[in-house]
């Protein structure tokens, strides 16, 4: 039991150490030696807990979602209809994604994207102090493994409410997710330049508002 607890603590320490380096130096500042030596561990210790460096980075990156989650929950209004909730989610998501493109790209489009929901769930088990109170909608949004799946789920709610057609939900999900990924890649080299991230987020949100409203029935 003690050994298992020790292993669990080591995994948590590796995640915490990786997050701290990412916060100070970005992804480019990471190296296995820098992470493990700061904890008094050998380089091979990392592979006892993670398949590779990418998986460790994914766990450490979950904490960078906190501002986005907080934005959505604080902005969400119970009087909003499903389509308004959908656009609110994208507005918050874009604001933080374009400011941290490498992290969001890795989380939602990277090697372990299909494990995102499980990674977030396990992260919160290890770091319960970071847990935000979730409701049913938030659970289905933030613990989803797939960005398009999450998007389509929210648009289906709008279709059931009679705001758009079921076919429009499918089309919008495809278009808006591809638009987001395309703009994310367009700005991956210049997002740190003054004003670029904010301008990209505003432009993206304006575009999906216009696209979505074209399909609105009421």
**Residue 54 lies inside a defined structural domain of this protein:** no
- Domain assignment of residue 125, yes or no: yes
Residues 42 and 76 in one domain: no
- 8 and 111 co-located in one domain: no
Q: How far apart are CA 159 and CA 200, in angstroms?
A: 28
Q: Specify whether 96 is located in the same domain as 31.
A: no
Q: What is the per-residue pLDDT for 177?
A: 95
Task: Classify residue 58: in a domain, yes or no.
Answer: no
Residues 86 and 189: their CA atoms lie apart, in Å, by 28
Residue 154, in any domain of the structure: yes
Distance CA 61, CA 102 (A): 10
- 35/134 same-domain check: no
- 157/75 Cα distance (integer angstroms): 19
CA distance 205 to 213: 12
Pair 193, 153 in one domain: yes
pTM of the model: 0.87
Structure tokens at 52: 């590779």
**Do 132 and 190 share a domain, yes or no?**
yes
| pLDDT for the residue 1 | 38
Indicate whether 108 and 15 sit together in one domain. no
pLDDT at res. 2: 40
Residue 157 included in any domain: yes
The domain that contains 21 carries what CATH number?
Answer: 1.10.10
User: Distances in Å between the alpha carbon of 170 and those of 15, 87, 177?
Assistant: 37, 16, 11
Residue-number span of the structural domain to which 38 is assigned = 2-49
pLDDT of residue 90: 96
Query: What is the chain's pLDDT, residue by residue, as a tens digit (218 residues)?
Result: 344 545 668 999 999 999 999 999 988 889 999 999 889 888 888 999 999 999 999 999 999 998 988 888 888 887 899 999 999 999 999 999 999 999 999 999 999 998 988 898 899 889 888 766 555 556 666 667 788 888 999 999 999 999 999 999 999 999 999 999 999 999 999 999 999 999 999 999 999 999 999 999 96
Query: Quick check: helix, strand or coil at residue 50?
Result: coil
Domain count, the chain: 2
**Residue 210 exposed, middle or buried by CB count within 10 Å (0-12, 13-18, 19+):** exposed
């Amino acid at each position: 039991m003690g050994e298992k607890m020790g292993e669990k603590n080591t995994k948590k320490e590796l995640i915490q150490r990786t997050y701290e380096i990412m916060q100070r130096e970005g992804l480019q500042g990471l190296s296995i030696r820098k992470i493990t030596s700061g904890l008094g561990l050998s380089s091979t210790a990392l592979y006892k807990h993670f398949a590779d460096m990418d998986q460790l980075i994914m766990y450490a990156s979950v904490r960078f979602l906190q501002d986005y989650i907080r934005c959505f929950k604080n902005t969400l209004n119970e009087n909003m209809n499903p389509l308004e909730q959908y656009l609110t989610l994208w507005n918050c998501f874009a604001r933080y994604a374009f400011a941290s493109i490498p992290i969001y790209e890795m989380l939602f489009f990277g090697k372990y994207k299909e494990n995102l929901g499980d990674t977030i769930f396990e992260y919160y088990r290890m770091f319960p102090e970071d847990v935000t109170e979730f409701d049913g909608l938030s659970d289905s949004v933030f613990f989803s493994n797939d960005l398009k799946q999450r998007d389509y789920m929210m648009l289906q709610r709008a279709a059931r409410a009679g705001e758009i057609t079921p076919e429009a939900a499918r089309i919008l999900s495809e278009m808006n997710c591809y638009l987001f990924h395309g703009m994310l890649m367009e700005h991956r080299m210049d997002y740190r330049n003054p004003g670029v991230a904010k301008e990209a987020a505003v432009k993206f949100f304006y575009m999906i508002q216009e696209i979505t409203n074209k399909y609105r029935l009421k």
